Amino acid sequence: MRDEDLRPVRPYPAELEERLEHRGRHLVLRPIRPQDTPRHRQFLARVAPRDLYMRFFTGMREVPEPDLAHFTHIDYEREMAFIAEVADGAEAGDILGVARACTGADQRVAEFAVLVRSDLKRQGLGTLLMHKLIRYCRERGIRELRGSILMENAAMLALARSLGFLVRSGERNVEEVVLDLAAATPAAPGAPLA
């Protein structure tokens, strides 16, 4: 595939960038963009195989190279992926987590997925990213946010419940979670920086 074929149709939505302090660390929450491919590759290299399995539902030691470009070259019209990136210091630019949502043709329903670097789990990053994604989806007029979660994924099921998602029985070993965006209004964590 040529680089031109991968460029997003809608321009990079820089207005969605946000700087904040999260548990003593300065972060940038922002849409992913094509230039993030090397950092995104480094991020995925620091995700344990079990966490990759929880995210992609298939066993892999690493994400295949051809798939990487699709994670960073997105059409912002029908997809959004927010990254949490270190804002300053020696690790500036490092990606700590990603939350993404894709809409169907009618833009009423979006499917989400979220992934946090394995050594940084349970530090509120998943919650932070999901709040950003939920706010964005609500502002876009999307009515419902859905996710498919492996039944054994206690962490994500707990996180989804804490965000107000309802858990529906899915198929076999997968639960479907649904958030009514018109009804739910969770408070956003993280103190914005001046």
Ligand X SMILES: CC(C)(COP(=O)(O)OP(=O)(O)OC[C@H]1O[C@@H](n2cnc3c(N)ncnc32)[C@H](O)[C@@H]1OP(=O)(O)O)[C@@H](O)C(=O)NCCC(=O)NCCS
Residues that bind ligand X (CB under 6 A): 51, 54-55, 113-116, 121-127, 147, 149, 153-156, 158-159, 162
What tokens appear for 113 in the block?
A: 């997925």
Q: How far is the CB of 2 from ligand X (least distance, A)?
A: 31
DSSP class per residue in 2-27: -HHHHS-SSPP-GGG-EEEEETTEEE
- Residue 37 or 123 having the CB closest to ligand X: 123
Minimum distance, C-beta of residue 14 to ligand X, in the bound complex (Å): 25
Whole-angstrom Cα distance, residue 23 to residue 114?
20
Say if residue 50 is exposed, middle or buried (CB neighbours under 10 Å; 0-12, 13-18, 19+): exposed
Q: Which residue is nearest to ligand X (CB)?
A: 126
Q: Which is nearer to ligand X, 12 or 39 (CB)?
A: 39
Residue 63's contacts (CB-CB under 8 Å, 6 or more residues apart) are 44, 52, 56, 71
* In the complex, least distance from residue 189 CB atom to ligand X, rounded to whole angstroms: 9
Name the minimum Å distance from CB 1 to ligand X: 26
Q: Closest distance between ligand X and the C-beta of residue 123, in Å?
A: 5
Answer for the pair 153, 116: CB distance below 8 angstroms, yes or no.
Answer: no
Using alpha carbons, select from 137, 104, 115, 118 the residue that is nearest to residue 71. Answer: 115
Rg (CA), the chain: 16
> Which is closer to ligand X, CB of 87 or CB of 99?
99
